[in-house]
Structure 1
Amino acid sequence: MKSNDATSCRARGSAVGRRQLRSILIGATAALCLAGTPAAVGKADPVPIPQNDPFYTPPSGWESTAPGTILKSRPVEVASMRPTPADADAWQLLYRTTDNAGRPITTVTTVLRPRTGQVAGLITYQPAEDASAPQCAPSYALRQGAVALDHKYDASLDFLQIDQMLSSGHAISVPDWEGSNAATIVPKQPGYTALDGVRAAEAFTPLGLSGTATPVAAAGYSGGSLASAWIAQLQPTYAPEVRLVGVARGGGAGGPSEPLAPYLLSLDGGPFSGFLVSLLPGMMRADSRVATAFDTYLTPAGKALMTAGETECSVPLVEKYPFLHMDDYLTIPFSQVFDQAQPFFDETDYGITAPTIPTFLYHAVNDEIVHITFVDQAVANWCTSNPPITYTRDQLSEHPSLAVAATTSALHWIDDRLAGHPAPNNCTIRTVPSMALDGA
């Protein structure tokens, strides 16, 4: 039985955690404003959530089509940080792809191109969805007319990134990389879904791409970094015809020195423990080994907690559940449940080999969600084989602010790769005061 003092301490800790989280979110919003982006999203008639939208239902016989096959398409308006929609032509493509077990599934990508001029290349951009609820999918959250922030993830960073990518003359594919099954952190599937989104985009004539001759770059931050890492790992074998020229990713997992299970365990009991509520239901849904491990030991309160995680997006869940201890919702210790699902985590630790695709990697020294030690160790291991990695450590940023501070630097690196300029062919590590000063 927990003492009143312990309960009171946890309540005080929760209050402190909420204040800390709110200040971080406010800081990120301020950074957006300092970046010159007005903090106002355009309005439109409401659009239905994916569960109620027939566009997400594939036609009969879709299972027998090839990965990347377009099953449906429609024009859409994508919102922006301005009062008007994004200045781009945009469509959504429903296409066939593959889940982590190799089975056919469908998902949607939102594709955009500048309204004028010839596109220079294609960027597959993986947002940090980090949620098990279908209404958190980028294809819904990015649309003009999507509902308020409390019911979806905050797409402010995505609007900023998309605007800058468009201004460089690139076409963009923004896949729902968690797939129709909203699988949060699983092996391989994020790479499959994103690469098949590239295949669909290259085959979609209105984008004006050059088919498989199109140079392609991948970008993502935080949870989107994990998805982008899978693209680099799987492209040579799963989609060798895709001309992948570079991957820029930050704020996320690093490799074999940062296996997933210890990272998730590190969230338990901390200010960002709500990420567990957001991520675990999608992991359980996607893999029977994880489902069996948790279903066996979840208490009734634990099952209710997982249900809550299936109905909201990461930001409100992180705000609601700081300093949550999963041991309070299980009949055995949280770490022992993870031990029973270890084969799943062995498959999910994607960084077994150093990337062969040119990679621009960046991380905040003071990242409060993913500790930089994990990434430093992974890069050090990779660099023993001198792969084409440029790794930047930012001293002044933390997790949300680096997403904004690094945008220009990361996209300049992508611009160079898409323009055909060769990337450095060795491993380079640098520490800077702030990536916002790059090129200043």
Structure 2
Amino acid sequence: MRRIWPAVLAVLFYAVTASVFAPVATSEPRYPTPEADPFFTAPPEIGDFAPGDVVRQRKFDLGPYQGTDIWHVAFRSTNSAGDPIMGVTTVLIPTGVPNPPLVSYQALINSLGTKCNPSHSLVNDETPDAFGAALPLARGWAVALPDYLGPNVAYGAAKLSGMVTLDSVRALQRAPELGLGQSPIALAGYSGGGLATAWAAAMQPTYAPELTLAGVAAGGIPADLEQMALGIGFGNHPGFGLAWAAAMGLEREYPQRLPISDQLNAEGRWFRDFTADECRRFLLFHGVLRSAEQLAATRSLMDDPEARAVLRENSLRHYPGLPQTPTMLWQGEFDALTPFDAVADVAGRYCAAGVALTFSRYQIAEHMTTAVAGLPEAWNFIEARFRGEPAPTRCRS
């Protein structure tokens, strides 16, 4: 899975002319197929709800999680353009435990289809870190897994993910049937989920100032999409399928500012439609022998300032907001997927501003190995915050 996030630029900026297919004049983004289940459809009056208000909820059974009450909660949120949208989170609550600590865990989605969201993927095995996300249940905590990419499954849209994450927590506190209104709250996630988690923490003081967070743990953060973009090559790569998904997801969220479909040749438009509803494993398998060079028809996004602006707007390195809660960041020093220096810059800025930050550096190169190495420390960090222990500050480890 190395260099997947950086490969986004193979689609965003370095779309080169390398096909016998003719370019298309205009082409709309390809959005996911609408949900058949009406629970996931926003009501026409979604704009009348306040961010975080509960739209509807339902309880259901899930065999592998015995002794646990499981709910879907639909709520109002906001997209990157400021428009109202409906989000969904799935929460697992230990049966009979009043006001348990609550962790919102932003899972690895890395996909384009709604079937890949945690609201579906806990039963179809498409959430690769579902087991690790469920581990806090053994500590007596409740665990929520939001569909933080929004209704259009906009993979790569970090600002959106932060808002949906915060609104999902608001909704869980506002649903009296869940018994979480007085629960202490923490956020956690890795890689794409770490991006959503870190953005939620940084946006909370301005977007959801009434929320009190006990702690935040985020790892493997793609903190500077523009930097990743500038350093990418555009040949074949085994992780191209996920890079493609990130480009398509950003186009879904910014259709006017990132008209990537306009830059595709006929094969690219076919591949866009072929993958529009698919999940991580499908994307990896079918992207392994493909590249932006094969699927693009023009260089017109090469140095587009608007495209660069979108990447910067979704890069934590350039976001001025600061968490007001104890925060742990963990990162592999030699991670080829999510560059260390961008996260180190974020950590330095946080420490200089007085954020109670624990920054853990792991001398590891492989992206997912760092996830496994750092997750126990992350859970222990959060547990200490739930116990009310003073947060340490460690800007360099």
TM-score range, shorter chain: 0.7 to 0.9
Contact 1:392 1:429 in 2 (8 A): yes
Cα separation, partners in 2 of 1:383 and 1:324, compared to 1, 3 Å = farther
Tell me by how many angstroms 1:224 deviates: 0.2
Cα separation, partners in 2 of 1:268 and 1:248, compared to 1, 3 Å = farther
Q: 1:64 aligns with which of 15, 26, 48?
A: 48
> What pairs with 1:196-345 in structure 2 (closer than 5 Å)?
196-209=167-180, 211=181, 213-254=182-223, 259-264=224-229, 266=232, 268-269=234-235, 270-292=237-259, 294-322=260-288, 324-333=290-299, 336=302, 339-345=305-311
Tell me by how many angstroms 1:157 deviates: 1.8
Cα separation, partners in 2 of 1:318 and 1:90, compared to 1, 3 Å = same
Normalization by structure 2: what TM-score? Answer: 0.83
Higher mean C-alpha displacement, 125-134 vs 114-123: 114-123
For structure 1, list consecutive stretches of 5 or more residues without a partner in the other structure.
Answer: 1-16, 22-48, 431-440
For residues 315 and 251 of structure 1, what CA distance do their matches in structure 2 show?
20
Contact 2:90 2:146 in 1 (8 A): yes
For residues 109 and 270 of structure 2, what CA distance do their matches in structure 1 show?
22
For residues 395 and 350 of structure 1, what CA distance do their matches in structure 2 show?
22
Contact 2:75 2:87 in 1 (8 A): yes
Normalization by structure 1: what TM-score? Answer: 0.76
Amino acid at match of 2:227: P
Tell me by how many angstroms 1:381 deviates: 4.7
Q: 1:106 aligns with which of 63, 86, 95?
A: 86
Cα separation, partners in 2 of 1:300 and 1:235, compared to 1, 3 Å = same
Amino acid at match of 1:347: E
Q: Which residue number in structure 2 is paired with residue 348 of structure 1?
A: 314
**Bigger proportion of residues as helix:** 1
Tell me by how many angstroms 1:198 deviates: 0.7
> What pairs with 1:27-176 in structure 2 (closer than 5 Å)?
51-78=35-62, 84-143=64-123, 146=124, 153=126, 155-162=127-134, 164-176=135-147
For residues 216 and 154 of structure 2, what CA distance do their matches in structure 1 show?
22
Give the 3-state SS of the residue equivalent to 1:281 in structure 2: helix
Q: Which residue number in structure 2 is paired with residue 359 of structure 1?
A: 327
Contact 2:336 2:365 in 1 (8 A): no
Q: Cα RMSD between the aligned structures?
A: 2.7
Tell me by how many angstroms 1:245 deviates: 2.1
Cα separation, partners in 2 of 1:130 and 1:264, compared to 1, 3 Å = farther
Q: Which of the pair has the greater relative contact order for Cα pairs under 8 Å at 6+ separation?
A: 2
Cα separation, partners in 2 of 1:245 and 1:323, compared to 1, 3 Å = farther
What fraction of aligned residue pairs are identical, expressed as a percent? Answer: 31
Contact 1:98 1:189 in 2 (8 A): yes
**4+ residue runs over 6 A deviation:** none
Tell me by how many angstroms 1:93 deviates: 0.8
Amino acid at match of 1:194: T
Contact 1:302 1:330 in 2 (8 A): yes
For residues 51 and 195 of structure 1, what CA distance do their matches in structure 2 show?
23
Give the 3-state SS of the residue equivalent to 1:206 in structure 2: helix
Amino acid at match of 1:415: E
Contact 1:260 1:349 in 2 (8 A): yes
